[in-house]
Amino acid sequence: MHDTIIIGAGAAGLAAGQRLRAAGRTPLILEARDRIGGRIHTDHTHGPVELGAEFIHGERAATWEAVRAAGLRTVGWSDDRRRFASGGEIYAADDPVTSRTAALFAIATSYRGPEISVAALIDSLVALDDPACRFALRWLANLEAADTQLLSAAVLTHERELATSGDTNFHILDGYDRVVVQLADGLDIRLSQAVERVAWDEAGGSVTLVGGGAHAARHLIITVPVGVLQTGRPIFTPPLPAKKRAAIDAIAVGHVIKLMLWFDHQFWPDFVVLSTDGRIVTWWTVASAATPTLMGYVGGPAALEIAALGEQGVISLGLSELSQLFGADAAAASLGGRISGWSENPWSLGAYTYSPVGIGNARAILAAPVGPLHFAGEATPTNGHIATVHGAIESGWRAADEVLAATSRKPI
């Protein structure tokens, strides 16, 4: 009988584990994959390049605790100088399309009023064929990994107002995987141990593993991504309360495809981030890589369409769109590329969550404990830090604190 079993060795599960360890506990962490980190995963082909989480979002993000403890090097990355490109041509920084796109983005993220989707709000303000409309919607779809027809403008605004992590983004020059290593330090983590069933009652719970094996504990912390929970995995016996299941279904799971392309020289003019009207929606430069590298990013339903092209198809598409943009032979300079999608992977089934119209307080309901079951992960923050590494870390701390508080109330 363990004191606490944590399901999942992503940021939330590892942070929960560290909090319990600091309180003298020895939690058991069960991870389905053969690696730790979950949606943090770093490619090292040409220096660190991120397949999942890439930025620390904010100078006050909880992630900094592990970054500092590990002595990692970081560099600021600002999208203040975001540029836009259409038909292979980059708009001048003072082009009206740039300022009107920024204005629409600001309206959608400072909206107060009856619930309305971001797409409906922006469509009500400008004509659909206005390039600024298209750029703003694609920008928001990318950022939130969302279908903008579903994404709630009011909740998006509220979440952004609540967030206290700060506005500056940072790349971790040594790689995000070093944060994971730091978070995992000293913890009992068992890899390739997928939990198939969770049986529970008021006194505790037990888990059954895919392929056999079982463990029991007084407390369980579940950090399984919402995309996976929505498919009914793991199976809970008895089932989770109807309210909890409804909350899981009410949270939207977003999709992302990342395309990293490595080159032997830089053939593009200096830029930080470029939004295009091509199929690769956004490009940015990657400071942590050892060779000139561009990251292409497609979020929302478009990510699923792009993924259908397959890895070589997406790489060819990216090289062709870069050649068109920069008038250079991108293929000739290419050292290769890689795509990363999270929606097909059975242990994530999506990139990160967003808040659709009608979400209500589903995140708080998901986060609430049920008997010995505690819930953490990027979908559970109620302080606006959703869909981030720091939000996942904070949620792990919160779940661990719940376990500690519940234990201290019980007579020994």
Residues that bind ligand FAD (CB under 6 A): 7-13, 30-33, 38-40, 52-55, 57, 194-195, 223-225, 228, 233-234, 256, 258, 342, 347-348, 351-352, 377-378, 387-390, 392
User: For residues 96 and 103, is the Cβ–Cβ distance under 8 A?
Assistant: no
User: For residues 222 and 374, is the Cβ–Cβ distance under 8 A?
Assistant: yes
In the three-class reduction of DSSP (H, G, I as helix; E, B as strand; rest coil), residue 390 is classed as: helix
CA atoms of 122 and 118, how far apart (whole Å): 6
| Total Cβ atoms within 10 A of residue 149 | 16
Residue closer to ligand FAD, measured from CB, 85 or 256:
256
Residue closer to ligand FAD, measured from CB, 157 or 343:
343
> Minimal distance in Å, beta carbon 234 to ligand FAD?
5
CA atoms of 339 and 279, how far apart (whole Å): 14
> Minimal distance in Å, beta carbon 258 to ligand FAD?
5
E-strand stretches of 300-363: 334-341, 353-354
User: For residues 231 and 18, is the Cβ–Cβ distance under 8 A?
Assistant: no
Residue closer to ligand FAD, measured from CB, 121 or 251:
251
> Minimal distance in Å, beta carbon 26 to ligand FAD?
18
Residue closer to ligand FAD, measured from CB, 50 or 321:
50
Residue closer to ligand FAD, measured from CB, 262 or 297:
297
Residue closer to ligand FAD, measured from CB, 143 or 330:
143
Name the β-bridge partners of 261.
294, 337
161, 191, 193: which is closest to 35 by C-alpha?
191
Name the β-bridge partners of 214.
208
> Minimal distance in Å, beta carbon 328 to ligand FAD?
27
> Minimal distance in Å, beta carbon 392 to ligand FAD?
4
Residue closer to ligand FAD, measured from CB, 9 or 121:
9
Name the β-bridge partners of 340.
258
> Minimal distance in Å, beta carbon 59 to ligand FAD?
13
Task: Pull the structure tokens for residue 364.
Answer: 């708080």
Task: Pull the structure tokens for residue 297.
Answer: 């990013």
> Minimal distance in Å, beta carbon 387 to ligand FAD?
5
In the three-class reduction of DSSP (H, G, I as helix; E, B as strand; rest coil), residue 248 is classed as: helix
